[in-house]
Structure 1
């Protein structure tokens, strides 16, 4: 008998997280999320998202066996910021069974509709500020850090439920030497030009990290506010994310642009820690996973460029090119072998063109779906 039940206990949350490990047991590209990180993300009182929004998790069963999962998400900050009545789904995983996926979305949709939502959008886990998007092409390699991976049949299951594409997100790949270093050659000229305008670019100061984070948050919430689905991060959310990032942060890949002591741009790349996490069984750090994580980080040979944003009034001044040049120089110095720039909205012409000009190759495509409810 197939049925869907709401998650209501710590035991249920454990089953919700662990189902993914069982479903992808034979997938060589699957990277397990750390259990403690997922548990905290999904638990009210642990992650600050729950301070302003609501989440209901559901598990699908076939008799007593878990065969699917989904989260129904009412992001109140998103709806206030965008003057919308959207609902979201996330953490969707399911066996290849249309009946199971239909039951999961039925429960999620009914919960959202009861909260006043008129649209269901996803996948987002829990918002576009965390991991999001369903992989629709590029299944042959593992995801880079903080990117998603899923079964190829997922998009078919959503098509059967009359979901339609809302937008695609692109991930660009760079090989060891497969990039255009024109920005590097022009860096001195561009830096001098920016200096004449009172603009400087520097590494983030980890010794003054709290103040840096506060100023970077202002840039983040301003530079990305026209992106589809964007919602500003609260101070608590940004601090939570920054605390996690700080564990793997390399100042050579965390850059800020300043003018008159004000942050006007920000760029961040992190080591591809998925190269380590892929070896951490079922996402458990204990008893031996912590050693794989600590020692494995030294062997990571790739980076993911996560964010690169400049306040609108300073765009096209050369700041973006200087960011790329600095990242490329650090990439060379540390002898990394590959990189990914992700994700980029398919209609963000300025950013797509900039990445393509340095020979970025789109190698994965993720999709956000939507449906009126």
Structure 2
């Protein structure tokens, strides 16, 4: 019988081993895009990732005959515990994520160890995988393994879903979808008319962000986001530290003509963030900026040319949601960014998401512009209470 030992990460050397496992175990997947090692290490380092300020986190490495063969994180987000249970999180719900494993036995050993850690810390339910926050790379990829992910999207082996489901007790809780679209084609006539009508409305203004006021603009956008998403399944609010951290992280790939704020009667009521697909330039670097990768990235940032643009975030303030105005503002921002993406960056493809599979408003917008689902991620749930207890 195999002896797989699972132990916690307790020092800098083991943290480096934890990070390195993802590069080694995914090395043969042509569609896996290696993150920069510095960012992968920052994600799991207390004091550098503000997630640790409101979460209890443990990282574990599985070893066989002394050799690392897998990893997993387990975490309890105190902000998530405070959310209403009907929105997915809530009291007693913990998470695990960042799973990498050489085979099914290793995966099961890691998952069960993470479950035991969550139980020992008073959790009675698990939602997984989340790596680590719901705002990072949530869900297990179950559709779309045939192409690389866009910037800040996860990509896990197809086998992981089978291993999670065979670990016992796991069932899908929610699907997260991404949609792709050929942005070189004009939108359907109905959408064009909606956009044209909005452009003639003096009460509506679609403006680009002002990077000279970056901190103010970032706070404005995240304030709208926290309001717009507050009733969404899985929502956990951003903290002030996370707003500052996200601003610092996004700033190098923020381009003013790709991020729009919609104002109605002078009040900011919606936004849409679009990012050029940094993965297109990162993929050949294999996670390392040195010795020459930094120069390639720097040149790209000065004048990015990409095939794909990704819309990771958009939102309309809650009081306007489900109104015609909300969809009109969304179409106007999408169309403005579409034109800029083609003219200024040479883009031909767009990706929107992720979107909750039951978010009727966003799914309707995606359908209206004739986009199609290209990737699906599943978040699983499991009761940690023994049967009969």
Q: TM-score, normalised by structure 2?
A: 0.91
Gaps in structure 1 of 5+ consecutive residues: none
Is the CA contact 2:176–2:376 (under 8 Å) kept in the aligned structure 1? yes
Cα deviations across residues 238-294 of structure 1 (Å, max 9, x unaligned)?
22112111111111111112245542111001000011111112x122222212322
Is the CA contact 2:70–2:107 (under 8 Å) kept in the aligned structure 1? yes
Is the CA contact 1:255–1:323 (under 8 Å) kept in the aligned structure 2? yes
C-alpha spacing 1:351/1:102, structure 2 compared with 1 (3 Å) = same
Q: Could you tell me how far apart the structure 1 residues matched to 2:291 and 2:338 are? A: 37
Is the CA contact 2:305–2:347 (under 8 Å) kept in the aligned structure 1? no
Task: Quote the offset at 1:93 in angstroms.
Answer: 1.1
Is the CA contact 2:198–2:204 (under 8 Å) kept in the aligned structure 1? no
Partner residue of 1:285? 289
Partner residue of 1:173? 180
Q: Which moved more, 1:166-175 or 1:295-304?
A: 295-304
Is the CA contact 1:184–1:326 (under 8 Å) kept in the aligned structure 2? no
Q: Could you tell me how far apart the structure 1 residues matched to 2:4 and 2:181 are? A: 45
SS at match of 2:34: coil
Ranges of 4+ aligned residues in structure 1 off by more than 6 Å: none
Partner residue of 1:9? 11
SS at match of 1:278: helix
Q: Could you tell me how far apart the structure 1 residues matched to 2:33 and 2:124 are? A: 34
Aligned residue among 321, 326, 346 for 2:331 = 321
Cα deviations across residues 6-54 of structure 1 (Å, max 9, x unaligned)?
0111111111111111111111101011111121121111111111111
Partner residue of 2:312? 306
User: How is 1:87-106 mapped onto 2 (pairs within 5 angstroms)?
Assistant: 87-97=94-104, 99-106=105-112
Partner residue of 1:46? 48
User: How is 1:26-41 mapped onto 2 (pairs within 5 angstroms)?
Assistant: 26-41=28-43
Task: Quote the offset at 1:179 in angstroms.
Answer: 5.7
Q: Could you tell me how far apart the structure 2 residues matched to 1:140 and 1:108 are? A: 30
Q: Could you tell me how far apart the structure 1 residues matched to 2:74 and 2:292 are? A: 34
Aligned residue among 118, 136, 139 for 1:112 = 118
Aligned residue among 157, 168, 175 for 2:163 = 157
Aligned residue among 151, 176, 190 for 2:198 = 190
Q: Could you tell me how far apart the structure 1 residues matched to 2:233 and 2:179 are? A: 19
Partner residue of 1:256? 261
Gaps in structure 2 of 5+ consecutive residues: 85-89, 385-389
Partner residue of 2:359? 348
Is the CA contact 1:181–1:325 (under 8 Å) kept in the aligned structure 2? no
Task: Quote the offset at 1:327 in angstroms.
Answer: 1.5
Is the CA contact 2:183–2:338 (under 8 Å) kept in the aligned structure 1? no
Is the CA contact 2:215–2:247 (under 8 Å) kept in the aligned structure 1? no
Aligned residue among 257, 260, 271 for 1:266 = 271
Q: Could you tell me how far apart the structure 2 residues matched to 1:356 and 1:203 are? A: 25
Matched residues, number:
368
Aligned residue among 336, 352, 357 for 2:347 = 336
SS at match of 2:284: coil
Is the CA contact 2:225–2:314 (under 8 Å) kept in the aligned structure 1? no
SS at match of 1:33: coil
Task: Quote the offset at 1:185 in angstroms.
Answer: 5.0
Q: TM-score, normalised by structure 1?
A: 0.94
Partner residue of 2:387? none
Q: Could you tell me how far apart the structure 2 residues matched to 1:38 and 1:32 are? A: 9
Task: Quote the offset at 1:74 in angstroms.
Answer: 0.5
Q: Could you tell me how far apart the structure 2 residues matched to 1:14 and 1:111 are? A: 22
Q: Which moved more, 1:314-323 or 1:157-166?
A: 314-323
Task: Quote the offset at 1:178 in angstroms.
Answer: 4.8
C-alpha spacing 1:175/1:259, structure 2 compared with 1 (3 Å) = closer
SS at match of 1:173: strand
SS at match of 1:247: helix
CA RMSD of aligned residues (A): 1.6
Partner residue of 1:365? 376
Q: Could you tell me how far apart the structure 2 residues matched to 1:181 and 1:250 are? A: 27
